[in-house]
Amino acid sequence: MQNTKLLLTSFTFVGLLALAGCSFPGVYKIDIQQGNVVTQDMIDQLRPGMT
């Protein structure tokens, strides 16, 4: 009974640490540029009716 209680407490503690580590600020936050770069020259080439 004592071993089971200690094991359950240990798993709970490790689980809480893992969850807290996932939300820690700055961890796994990589800036990724998304989309296409559109320059003014590209915008100037646009005409009505282009698809």
Does 45 score more than 70 pLDDT?
yes
Q: Which residue has the higher pLDDT, 24 or 14?
A: 14
Please enumerate in sequence order all residues whose Cβ is within 8 A of that of 14, keeping only pairs 6 or more positions apart, or say none.
none
Whole-number pLDDT of residue 47: 94
pTM: 0.42
